[in-house]
Amino acid sequence: MQSVLPIVVVVVVLLAFALLLIFLVSARKGQAGGKGRKLKTKDKTQIVKEANRRLAANPKDVEALAALGDLAWSEQDWERAFKLYESLAEAGAGNPEVDEFRANSRYAIAAIRLNRFDEAYKGLVVARTIKQDDFDVNFNLGYLEFQKRAFEKALALLKQAMLQNPEHPLMLRYLGHSYFKLKAYKEALGVLRKAIDLQPDDKESLFAAAECYYELGNLDQSLKIFTHLRADPQLGPSAALFAGSVHLNQRLYDRAIDDFEIGLKHPNMKIETMVELKYRLAAAYLKTQDIGKAVSLLGEVQIAYPNYKDVPALLAKYKELNSNRNLQTFLLGATSDFVTLCRKIALTFFPKAKVKITDISVQANDWADVLAEVETARWQDVVLFRFIRSQGTVGELAVRDFHARVKDLKAGKGYCISAGTFTDEARRFVEARLIDLIEKQNLMNLLNTIDSRAKGFLTEG
């Protein structure tokens, strides 16, 4: 019995020593890394109190920072979360006890919530070097690249995010817009339609989809969307501009006018959009020969932007037209009105003469030939008039063609009349021929006096 007792004592001592050793190791681990676990076992008040106590003693206590960061994150207190995860990411760099990916990604996402995009970008880049297949990191980094107009980088990141979560509405939105910015319209349309299905009130994506339809040649679907969006307070002016431009190109001028006028009814639009709406509405009015309204709009455009596109040239041209109804008819009127005007000019061209018009022919609405027998007190002859509907320059070839027509009809004299000018070559060609060239200024004299003169002269018999 006595021989057994020493053995028991030794065993008891060894056990006590082992227990003491285990306790010491546990205590050291608790000091190094166990505090976070202890903090997590307490309620919120205790966690905050204990964490703040530790941070007062050691501002880089990573477990205290992590505990407070988790609380701020769960409460969506983005300002506190941003500061805590920023400190944790800095203090935990290279520390195996810190989840660096979690610290940097949460720091970055909190920064995005606070619109601190530079800091967010920095945190996301660090997080992605640690883990490349995280949805939140890829999506948010792709979003930031999109905002920086780095669309190719955004596209690559958002495509990666799509692999992790293919039904995320905002991811689909920015992926579709990235494709659109890169002019990959077919791919953009497919993604944007999915985004719109998930978020039907996303008007910007709907507008982008309409642009895709337009670029892909589906004008009917494009017009359907643009017409729907004309009433939208934000996108309405641009939608009306697109719809009107499509109708203008299709020569549906009345519809284009409706579109542009609806667009201009919106208040507080961008000055650039308003000016373009007025410019294109003026173009539509010119097509319908409503010169007065067109000139008024062009004048408003010139006040906003004095040298906008070809507005100065258009005003110079159409102000004169607007003030002279006969010139307007000569250049832009219907063919029947143009021919009637040419008859008046021919009948009153020779004062106190007896004029009989024997033939009128029109060439593709470009010019009209009027053949007349003219008798005055001193001479009698057949005269051919050609009225050219142009304010540009008439060249030698056109005059040669007129000369051939004079010979074919055996006319004794020819008058080639234009609202523009003739080239030097054309003038030299007629020097030795019985053809007179009448340019704009002389035509204007005729147009300004034609109505009064027509009352006093003999007409065709």
> What is the radius of gyration, based on Cα positions, of the chain?
42
Nearest to 111 by CA among 142, 134, 144: 144
Confidence of residue 225 (pLDDT cuts 50, 70, 90): very high
The string of pLDDT tens digits covering residues 277-291 is 999 999 999 999 899
Is pLDDT above 90 for 183?
A: yes
Half-sphere exposure of 378 (CA within 13 A, CB side): 3
What stretch(es) of the chain map to CATH 3.40.1350.10?
328-456
Nearest to 128 by CA among 115, 143, 142, 138: 138
Average pLDDT over residues 242-252: 97
Contact between 79 and 68 (Cβ < 8 Å): no
pLDDT of 432 reads 87
Q: Give me the amino acid identity at 172.
A: L
Q: What angle do CA 237, 242, 246 make, to 5 degrees?
A: 145
Average pLDDT over residues 291-314: 95
| Beta-bridge mates of residue 363 | 367
pLDDT of 45 reads 85
The edge-to-edge listing of strands for the beta sheet with 367-375 is 354-363, 367-375, 380-388, 413-418, 435-438
Q: 203-207, 257-261, 268-272, 451-455: which range is least confident on average? A: 451-455
What stretch(es) of the chain map to CATH 1.25.40.10?
40-131
- Rounded to whole angstroms, the Cα distance separating 177 from 173 reads 6
CB atoms within 10 A of CB 373: 16
Whole-number percent of the chain with pLDDT over 70: 89
Q: What CA dihedral angle connects 406, 407, 409 and 414, to 10 degrees?
A: 20
> What is Dmax (Cα atoms) for the chain?
170
Average pLDDT over residues 366-382: 95
Average pLDDT over residues 178-194: 98
**DSSP H helices in 305-410:** 311-323, 325-332, 335-348, 396-408
The string of pLDDT tens digits covering residues 16-43 is 565 655 544 444 444 443 344 456 555 7
Q: What angle do CA 338, 256, 272 make, to 5 degrees?
A: 115
The string of pLDDT tens digits covering residues 341-362 is 999 999 999 988 999 999 999 9
Task: Flag whether the pTM goes above 0.85.
Answer: no
pLDDT of 429 reads 95
**Domain topology for 328-456:** Trna Endonuclease; Chain: A, domain 1 (3.40.1350)
Nearest to 229 by CA among 268, 262, 276, 185: 262
Q: How many residues does the chain have?
A: 461
**Domain topology for 40-131:** 1.25.40
Q: 37-46, 205-214, 264-273: which range is least confident on average? A: 37-46
